[in-house]
Amino acid sequence: AQSVAQPEDQVNVAEGNPLTVKCTYSVSGNPYLFWYVQYPNRGLQFLLKYITGDNLVKGSYGFEAEFNKSQTSFHLKKPSALVSDSALYFCAVSSMYSGGGADGLTFGKGTHLIIQP
Amino acid sequence: KAGVTQTPRYLIKTRGQQVTLSCSPISGHRSVSWYQQTPGQGLQFLFEYFSETQRNKGNFPGRFSGRQFSNSRSEMNVSTLELGDSALYLCASSLAPLTGVSYEQYFGPGTRLTVT
């Protein structure tokens, strides 16, 4: 079965500093990796995905993520944090060998990102 | 292009009642999935529909059911509500089914269900 781990429940960063939200995964075959963001009382918004190709993926709102196959990681990064980046971030994994349903796309527990002015 | 819409946005029900939630996917999307989100359990997959067929179901009791119509709109129903059913119910649509998925899902704003 595939799985996602987001080891930090909360990450605190000062505005203007770089931020990293960590994600590691386990899956059969080559992974498809996603990051979503959720603002209070809203649904999840797609940020970026890695399917194949360049290990550094650029997404919405200045976010990027680095795929590291040897470390089975897909950390979310941003060079300079904004207060408006404060939200709940979810990492998700799938692969071409995934089944359907919950095994098709597995989400991590989420990481609260708090950007302090 | 309009996003995923869910109605109603907020709902308060009493234990033992039943409830129906509605989801309209992005135009052209034929896969609709439902998730339950709670602070303790996080995002939990309920079921997925594609072309009016339920393809997969998560580990939820039979009180939770759903269906999809020919226009890809979907409804989920919860019968005999329990206090523990209080949650944010999210609907997500995608171009393709979740099997071997590489397409991203697009989520609606959710329906906040409170059971008293």
pLDDT, tens digit, for every residue of A78-102? 999 999 999 999 999 887 666 655 5
Cα→Cα distances A34→A45, A107, B43, B53, B106, Å? 11, 9, 15, 26, 12
- Nearest residue to A9 via CA among B47, B40, B55, B106: B40
At A12-59, the pLDDT tens digits run 999 999 999 999 999 888 888 999 999 987 889 999 999 888 999 999
What is the per-residue pLDDT for A106? 85
A117 touches B: beta carbon within 8 Å: no
Is the backbone peptide bond immediately before A7 cis, with ω within 30 degrees of 0? no
- Cβ distance A41 to B109 less than 8 Å, yes or no, reads yes
B22 touches A: beta carbon within 8 Å: no
Query: Does the CA dihedral B22-B27-B30-B36 come out positive or negative?
Result: negative
d(CA A21, CA A6): 8
Residue A88, Cβ neighbours under 10 Å: how many?
Answer: 19
Type and span of the H or E element at B50: strand B42-50
B95 touches A: beta carbon within 8 Å: no
What is the per-residue pLDDT for A40? 84
What is the per-residue pLDDT for B100? 58
| Chain B closest-CA separation from residue A4 CA (Å) | 12
Q: Between A and B, how many residue pairs show a Cβ–Cβ distance under 8 A?
A: 79
pLDDT at residue B103 greater than cutoff 80: no
What is the per-residue pLDDT for B102? 67
Per-residue pLDDT band at A76 (split at 50, 70, 90) = very high
What is the per-residue pLDDT for A34? 93
Contacts of A46 (CB under 8 A, 6+ apart): A34, A35, A36, A60, B104, B105, B106
At B4-61, the pLDDT tens digits run 999 999 999 999 999 999 999 999 999 999 999 998 888 888 989 999 999 888 889 9
Instruction: Compute CA B72 distance to the chain's CA centroid, rounded to the nearest angstrom.
Output: 13
What is the per-residue pLDDT for A55? 94
What is the per-residue pLDDT for A52? 86
Mean pLDDT, residues B98-115 taken together = 84
